[in-house]
Amino acid sequence: MLTKEQIETAADRLYQAETSRKQIPALTLDYPDMTMEDAYAIQKAWVDRKVAEGRKVMGYKIGLTSRAMQMSSNIDEPDYGVLLDDMLFEDGATIKASDFLDPRIEVELAFVLKKPLFGSTVTIFDVINATDYVIPSLELIAARCLRTDPETGYTRKVYDTISDNAANAGIVLGGRPIRPTDIDLRWAGCMLYLNGQIEETGLAGGVLGNPLKGITWVCKRFAPHNVGLEPGQVILSGSFTRPVPVKAGDTVHADFGSLGGVTLNFE
């Protein structure tokens, strides 16, 4: 286990990487024995610093929900990160690519809650009852830690990503909100376009077999810490496409068919 001082130092390094827009080497290079608990402690220390500066928690994201992504990360469970209010961008917005380190886009369904969710026995039916609406979304991810160290070739580990607030950087909500029982969410699909060309397609069932399960997972993960999900929070249930790199001049459009579309432009 890392010491409190080591956790604070690691969180400060991530904070400085984001503010200076300069990636840092993977934390696991300095802390090769880092555990998952250490990684989440670093994430919390960094998020707490942002909250102390005036940012507000607006929800959570769930990552590594597909089997393929878990295998590539050598992990057998999803991870989570915290969504802050300054991460929310309007549908169709234009933002600076240079504000983000190694920016990439993922496609997800977002759940907006109307009732609290808490406990280790939360079911998909509890999630349905607690959800105000489900809406298409884009997630913008960024890497404050280098994915691959240019000098050594060292590849970051899943603990680096968790420490890095699960690579959270932005969220865009758009399209048509629906009740979670309006359609079979497993079969909600999307075509992701980059500059008018299809880059990715996917089905929401790629998220643990059902995106509703992503919400139950995070509830069960939080329960031992006496933390629950609150009304009004936005929960990203997990991507069902690979991350697509973006740069200045790019336009990303996610076509969710009958659920509408979501667009983000980069300058």
Average pLDDT of the chain?
Answer: 94
Domain of residue 200, CATH code: 3.90.850.10
- Whether 214 is in a domain gets the answer yes
At residue 76 the predicted structure's pLDDT band, cuts being 50, 70 and 90, is: low
- Whether 134 is in a domain gets the answer yes
- Whether 180 is in a domain gets the answer yes
Residue 67: the pLDDT is 62
- Whether 25 is in a domain gets the answer no
At residue 64 the predicted structure's pLDDT band, cuts being 50, 70 and 90, is: confident
Query: What's this model's pTM, rounded to 2 decimal places?
Result: 0.94
At residue 68 the predicted structure's pLDDT band, cuts being 50, 70 and 90, is: low
Q: Which domain holds residue 174?
A: 56-266
Residue 65: the pLDDT is 72
Residue 234: the pLDDT is 98
- Whether 113 is in a domain gets the answer yes
Cβ count within 10 A of residue 178: 19
Q: What is the arithmetic mean of pLDDT over 84-102?
A: 98
At residue 164 the predicted structure's pLDDT band, cuts being 50, 70 and 90, is: very high
Q: What is the arithmetic mean of pLDDT over 47-66?
A: 92
Residue 78: the pLDDT is 82
Residue 236: the pLDDT is 96
Number of domain units in the chain: 1
At residue 190 the predicted structure's pLDDT band, cuts being 50, 70 and 90, is: very high
**Rounded CA gap, 144 and 17, in Å?**
6
- Whether 22 is in a domain gets the answer no
Residue 63: the pLDDT is 84
- Whether 149 is in a domain gets the answer yes
- Whether 81 is in a domain gets the answer yes
